[in-house]
Amino acid sequence: MNGARILLGVTGGIAAYKAAALTSTLVQRGALVDVVMTAEAERFVAPLTFAALTGRPVFGSLWDAPERIPHVRLVRENAVVLVAPATANALAKLAHGIADDLLTAAVLAARIPVILAPAMNDAMYANPATQANLATLRARGYGIVDPEAGFLAERERGIGRLASEERLLEALARTLERSRALAGKRVVVTAGPTRERFDPVRFVSNASTGAMGIAIAREAAARGAAVTLLLGPTLLEPPAGVAVWRFESARELLDLALEHAVGADVTVATAAVADWRPATVAAHKRKKGADVLEEPMLRNPDVLAELGARKGATFLVGFAAETDDHRANARVKLRAKHLDAIAVNDVAGERGFGVGRNALTLLWGDDGERDLGEGEKPELAARLWDALEARFACS
């Protein structure tokens, strides 16, 4: 924690007093803590308490700071945001992008990791509205330190107590360490489907949305890498802080990949590339005409195999979309495309394309294998980078 720059957000719950104790511990361990309090938090603990503990000004309203945009400066100068306690109201605002005070504006402007530690009455915590907000926030890559069961302010027992100081410190330490894990690395990620034009209004494509690749790019950026995302046609938003190049066809992706991925430290190819394209692209919309359409299809370049042939020192990771005999099929691709690792993605049934959840297994070498389990794509992206970091550290 020594020298760590932490932005601590305090919202208006009884547990706000615990944020003062946490601040004291952080300062004793050498962290530099900026505290932002909501107006409601100031009803529970005086800003003076935090000012005295940190020896720094405490930020309250968007309007009383001497400069015009304190919310942006605060998230640029700090390495991590921890909101503790995070009330149900704060979670609801953050889940919906409401930025009507300094803290919520700062979190919305944050490109640094954000950790939320909910604390509230057990019924408020269990309410589906709160649970849905937490699921949204988690899926967007926010770290959540779950509340604990115990004695609540209402003199009853239930789930809703702010996580212990030990768990909050652990989450901060882990997040800070993680935010430096890929510092100095150049990472390229390919994501999304391709579109192979058939005529001006039709194309051949697939159900990929690019969600997995976008999550992998976002996670790499959160770990400090300089990330380039090569992104196919999708309505999903690319992550902030990442250089984005758009492609439509496999051949456009190949051009971009050869330009950006050759020489990168790590390339992760999640794009669902069409293996074939219509042999001709009609200049005008094709008319119905014949009952049976016979259209020759040409083989597309294999982008990943091309990268494998030129990979040099790049750690090259492929994805294998499989519906059966997953591992055996993926190992063939691992070898044939000269990859360092391949993540097997089960696209049968309810998982894989177009859904929030996925299941991955990482394979490398002759028999290296790590089951990354099932989960939301941002969660899996974090587990994938944990596993990859361990691999390229020893390769």
Q: Which stretch binds ligand CTP (CB under 6 A): 18-26, 33-41, 103-111, 300-308?
A: 300-308
Q: Does 82 bind ligand CTP (CB under 6 A)?
A: no
Closest approach of Cβ 303 to ligand CTP, in Å?
3
259 counts as binding ligand CTP under rule CB under 6 A: no
Secondary structure string (H, E, C) spanning 91-146: HHHHHCCCCCCHHHHHHHCCCCCEEEEECCCHHHHHCHHHHHHHHHHHHCCCEECC
**What would you report as the CA-atom Rg of the chain, rounded to the nearest whole angstrom?**
24
Report, in Å, the least distance between residue 251 CB and ligand CTP.
10
Which positions from 225 through 254 interact with ligand CTP, judged by CB under 6 A? Answer: 250
Say whether 300 is catalytic: no
SS3 28: helix
Residue type, 20: A
Please provide residue 192's backbone torsions phi and psi, each rounded to the nearest 5 degrees.
95, 175
Among 91, 303, 372, 380, the residue binding ligand CTP under the rule CB under 6 A is 303
Q: Does 320 bind ligand CTP (CB under 6 A)?
A: yes
Q: Compute the least distance from the CB of residue 271 to ligand CTP, in Å.
A: 4
Instruction: Mark the segment that binds ligand CTP (CB under 6 A) among 5-13, 106-114, 315-323, 376-384.
Output: 315-323
Q: H or E stretch including 304? A: helix 303-309
Q: Which is nearer to ligand CTP, 64 or 324 (CB)?
A: 324
Q: Which stretch binds ligand CTP (CB under 6 A): 33-41, 113-121, 282-290, 318-326?
A: 318-326
Any contact of residue 187 with ligand CTP (CB under 6 A)?
no
Q: How far is it, in rounded angstroms, from Cα 46 to Cα 37?
A: 10
Contact 43, 64 (CB under 8 A): no
Residues 178, 333, 377, 391: which binds ligand CTP (CB under 6 A)? 333
Determine the Cα–Cα distance for residues 40 and 139; give it in Å rounded to an integer: 27
Please identify, using beta-carbon distances, which residue of 89 and 190 lies nearer to ligand CTP: 190
Q: Is 300 in the site for ligand CTP (CB under 6 A)?
A: yes
Q: Which is nearer to ligand CTP, 101 or 196 (CB)?
A: 196
**What number of other Cβ atoms are within 10 A of residue 136's Cβ?**
15
What is the identity of the amino acid at 64?
D
Binding residue count for ligand CTP, defined by CB under 6 A: 15
Residues 278, 295 contacting (CB under 8 angstroms): yes
- Burial category of 63 from C-beta neighbours within 10 Å (exposed 0-12, middle 13-18, buried 19 and up): exposed
- Determine, following the binding rule CB under 6 A, whether residue 145 of this chain makes contact with ligand CTP: no
Give, for 59, the enclosing helix (H) or strand (E): strand 58-59
Of 319, 376, 380, 385, the one binding ligand CTP (CB under 6 A) is: 319
For ligand CTP, the closer of residues 17 and 392 by Cβ is: 392
Question: If residue 159 lies in a helix (H) or strand (E), which one and from where to where?
Answer: strand 157-161
Question: Out of 31, 53, 321, 360, which residue is the one contacting ligand CTP (CB under 6 A)?
Answer: 321
What's the min distance (Å) between Cβ of 269 and ligand CTP? Answer: 4
Contact segment (CB under 6 A) with ligand CTP among 18-26, 88-96, 218-226, 267-275 equals 267-275
CB of 390 to ligand CTP, least distance (A): 20
Q: How far is the CB of 221 from ligand CTP (least distance, A)?
A: 20
When asked if residue 269 is in the footprint of ligand CTP (CB under 6 A), the reply is: yes
CB atoms within 10 A of CB 172: 26
**Smallest distance from ligand CTP to CB 268, Å:** 8
Neighbour tally for 326: CB within 10 Å: 19
Catalytic residue among 2, 89, 127, 206: 206
Dihedral sign, Cα of residue 168, residue 172, residue 173, residue 174: positive
* CA-based nearest residue to 147, from 134, 156, 160: 160
Side-chain half-sphere CA neighbours of 346 within 13 A: 18
Stretch that binds ligand CTP, among 1-9, 160-168, 232-240, 270-278 (CB under 6 A): 270-278
> First and final CA of the chain: distance in angstroms?
30
Interface residues with ligand CTP (CB under 6 A)? 190, 250, 269, 271, 273, 275, 300, 302-304, 318-321, 333
Q: List, by residue number, the catalytic residues.
A: 206
